[in-house]
Structure 1
Amino acid sequence: MPVSNVETEPAEVTCASSPGGVEVLPPRDVPLGGPRAMRVRRTLPQKQRSLIGAWCFCDHYGPDDVSMDVAPHPHTGLQTVSWLFTGEIEHRDSHGVHAHVRPGELNLMTGGRGIAHSEVSTAASAVLHGVQLWLALPDAHRDAPRDFQHHVPAAVEVNGASVRVFLGSLAGSASPVATFTPVLGAEVVLPAGTELTLAVSESFEHGVLLDTGDVTVGGTALAPGELGYAGTGRPELALATREGARVVLLGGEPFGEEIVMWWNFVGRTHEEIAAYRDEWQAGTDRFGRVEGYDGGRLPAPPLPGGRLRPRGNPA
């Protein structure tokens, strides 16, 4: 579900990744979608950590009995990664793609130089539940052309756990979907009483988002909605559960670049972000047109009063 970040006072974030130990990142509640907003639990970005690899945005939502109707809105400098547990979302974008987001199916949209899209829950979707993730594009590729990729990963069994790898590779399973930096994205379902050790890349930092149930990451307990962070230099991740759990595992090499992220834009400077906003408001060709959506576009919020300033991860 490629949800727009429509906070009424969105914070500007300049992000730089850094390795670190295991830490727990609590979510904050954020309303999305205007007057009839749905609530999401956001764990990236936040003050204590802005990126995990190239992952720069993580919203976790549901299960909620809600409908969704997000008007066309823009993106630059990123890829949106949509992963549902329950429900169905209709996607339309200015690349000409009309698709559906369904449980267990990856939709990845590239909005490098600029793209616009809308999302509307289908009539059959009484409950929405899933995650919305963004990948920052490295400087060499941040003006990449619009693109859209769809993939249905098969589940593989590892010591009784079910693993679906939607990006990168894990447990002998590899996704064919292209990204611009080395990353990992996977859903892991752990039956009750499971202790699972996964071999991972030592050059990656990792995040484990607990969706349901209980889990420990390297002995550190997470509550539902929390994101457990593990830094580089670890050849394996140890997951354990008493009651059973479903987690989303994210990983990637430390990004190594600073980015400025505000509203739905990723750039490098205050001036770039301001220019993106002006072009969206003016309806230029940078973002194209979304055909088939019944309604107008989502207007950009006002820029903050001061300059968008740097903010990075702790050492």
Structure 2
Amino acid sequence: MSNAETHPVEYQITNHAPGTALNPQCEDGANVEIITSREVPLGGPRAMTVRRTLPQRQRSLIGAWCFVDHYGPDDVSLTGGMDVASHPHTGLQTVTWLFEGEVTHHDSGGNHAVVLPGEVNLMTAGAGICHTEVSTSSTTTLHGVQLWTVLPDKDRQGPRRFDHFAPEEIGVEGGTARVFLGSLFGQSSPVHTFSPLVGAEIHVNPGETVTFDIDPTFEHGLLVDSGEVQLEGVTVEPTQLAYTGINETQLRIRNTGTTPARTVLLGGEPFEEDIVMWWNFIGRSHDEIEEYRKQWQAESERFGVTHGYISHSRDGLTRLPAPELPNAAIKARKNPAPTARPETRID
């Protein structure tokens, strides 16, 4: 998915040394930091709205997860659904996970796919790629998440790649789960990532609790899609991302309501490299980002060409132009230590 903001924020994200653990918010429980979402239109006059929790001023990364957009349930008859023309990426992987609806994917690596609910589609940009995303004509409701992970420096100039996996839904005490990246609940995904990560959709039955072991070297974020959810005794509203830091060995998700709850767990080892994010590019300096933009505008071979895109609109663009770069110099944005700060909430 493209970052469709016309004036995207430029981020320089630097590693920050771990801090001192805070008192737990419930007895024997992990600390929980709430990250609220902000609404961003996904282009066009009838744009569907996505709710973005990463990156934020409050926290820019959870492991290598650097971008979390949550959308729907969206009535495509009102918004037009998803229709994102060809746009570039560098230095990242896109992770598409749907709850409802279908999206066609075409990229300059020659990959063409229909993204279905419960099937992860992971695109590796490497040194450069471009792609398109369009909800299918049969889709009436679109609902899901679009995620990015940043590539380590040693891998970010590598080749384009596309992976697909349909994880089995497994029963766990208190609910069900699908593990689409990494390992959890005794399940492992075969999809290749370039740093240690985990991603899973977890459903919690009404009035029940799902308790599970986690890797203590990972930090985690729990995105709530629906339901009345508590993480470690802390209420997490739908669209919010609840963060827990490293050194935890177990998490508990409780559904205090009378309807099923759906959540998405994301986690990974803290990412220790300094990165710069702007629009759809991830690099290591402002000069790199400027060069990527220049090459995209010049239709450089770095990004290739996407074939197969059919827009919902006859008059729509076939290729998204890059926004203008900001005039101001990049200011360092430090990602906080991998320790949850319950008192912190920046809306």
Q: How high is the TM-score relative to the length of structure 2? A: 0.88
Q: Which residue is equivalent to 1:283?
A: 299
Q: Which residue is equivalent to 2:131?
A: 117
Count of aligned positions: 313
Q: Which residue is equivalent to 1:130?
A: 144
Which amino acid is 2:273 matched to?
A: E
Q: Which segments of 5 or more consecutive residues in structure 1 lack a partner in the other structure?
A: none
2:252 aligned to which of 238, 246, 259: 238
2:153 aligned to which of 136, 139, 144: 139
Q: Which residue is equivalent to 2:268?
A: 252
Which amino acid is 1:154 matched to?
A: E
Distance across 2 between alignment mates of 1:25 and 1:15: 17
Deviates more, 1:29-38 or 1:285-294: 29-38
Q: Give the 3-state SS of the residue equivalent to 1:184 in structure 2.
A: strand
Deviates more, 1:20-29 or 1:199-208: 20-29
Q: Contact (CA 8 Å) 1:17, 1:53: kept in 2 or not?
A: no
Distance across 2 between alignment mates of 1:160 and 1:194: 5
Q: Which residue is equivalent to 1:49?
A: 59
Deviates more, 1:17-26 or 1:102-111: 17-26
Structure 2 residue 39 is matched with structure 1 residue 29:
yes
1:5 aligned to which of 3, 6, 17: 3
Distance across 1 between alignment mates of 2:201 and 2:271: 22
Deviates more, 1:305-314 or 1:191-200: 305-314
Q: Contact (CA 8 Å) 2:174, 2:209: kept in 1 or not?
A: no
Which amino acid is 2:202 matched to?
A: V
Residue 219 of structure 1 and its aligned partner are, at CA, apart by 1.1
Q: Which residue is equivalent to 1:71?
A: 85
Q: Which residue is equivalent to 2:213?
A: 199
Q: Give the 3-state SS of the residue equivalent to 2:154 in structure 1.
A: helix
Distance across 2 between alignment mates of 1:152 and 1:310: 39
Residue 234 of structure 1 and its aligned partner are, at CA, apart by 0.1
Q: Which residue is equivalent to 2:322?
A: 300
Residue 307 of structure 1 and its aligned partner are, at CA, apart by 2.1
Residue 312 of structure 1 and its aligned partner are, at CA, apart by 1.9
Residue 313 of structure 1 and its aligned partner are, at CA, apart by 1.7
Which amino acid is 2:152 matched to?
A: P
Q: Contact (CA 8 Å) 1:16, 1:51: kept in 2 or not?
A: no
Q: Which residue is equivalent to 1:262?
A: 278
Residue 36 of structure 1 and its aligned partner are, at CA, apart by 2.6
Q: Which residue is equivalent to 2:97?
A: 83
Q: Which residue is equivalent to 2:201?
A: 187
Deviations 1:260-296 (A, max 9, x none): 0000000000000000000000001000000122452
Residue 306 of structure 1 and its aligned partner are, at CA, apart by 1.1
Q: Contact (CA 8 Å) 1:10, 1:262: kept in 2 or not?
A: yes
Q: Give the 3-state SS of the residue equivalent to 1:224 in structure 2.
A: coil
Q: Which residue is equivalent to 1:178?
A: 192
- Percent sequence identity is 57
Q: Contact (CA 8 Å) 2:229, 2:256: kept in 1 or not?
A: yes
Residue 17 of structure 1 and its aligned partner are, at CA, apart by 5.3
Which amino acid is 2:161 matched to?
A: D
Structure 2 residue 293 is matched with structure 1 residue 271:
no
Q: Contact (CA 8 Å) 2:89, 2:128: kept in 1 or not?
A: yes
Deviates more, 1:190-199 or 1:203-212: 190-199
Q: Contact (CA 8 Å) 2:51, 2:71: kept in 1 or not?
A: yes
Q: Give the 3-state SS of the residue equivalent to 1:50 in structure 2.
A: coil
Distance across 1 between alignment mates of 2:281 and 2:97: 21
Which amino acid is 1:44 matched to?
A: L
1:17/1:240 CA distance change after superposition, 3 Å = farther
Q: Give the 3-state SS of the residue equivalent to 2:225 in structure 1.
A: strand
Q: Give the 3-state SS of the residue equivalent to 1:304 in structure 2.
A: coil
Q: Contact (CA 8 Å) 2:123, 2:161: kept in 1 or not?
A: yes
Q: Contact (CA 8 Å) 1:198, 1:237: kept in 2 or not?
A: yes
Q: Which residue is equivalent to 1:15?
A: 13
Distance across 2 between alignment mates of 1:299 and 1:176: 35
Q: In terms of Rg, which structure is larger?
A: 2
Q: Which residue is equivalent to 2:333?
A: 311
Distance across 1 between alignment mates of 2:14 and 2:64: 10
Deviations 1:154-176 (A, max 9, x none): 01111031110000000010000
Q: Which residue is equivalent to 1:96?
A: 110
Deviations 1:220-253 (A, max 9, x none): 1100000000000000111111223100000000
Distance across 2 between alignment mates of 1:36 and 1:132: 19
Distance across 1 between alignment mates of 2:173 and 2:298: 55
Q: What RMSD over aligned residues (CA atoms) do the two structures have, in Å?
A: 1.2
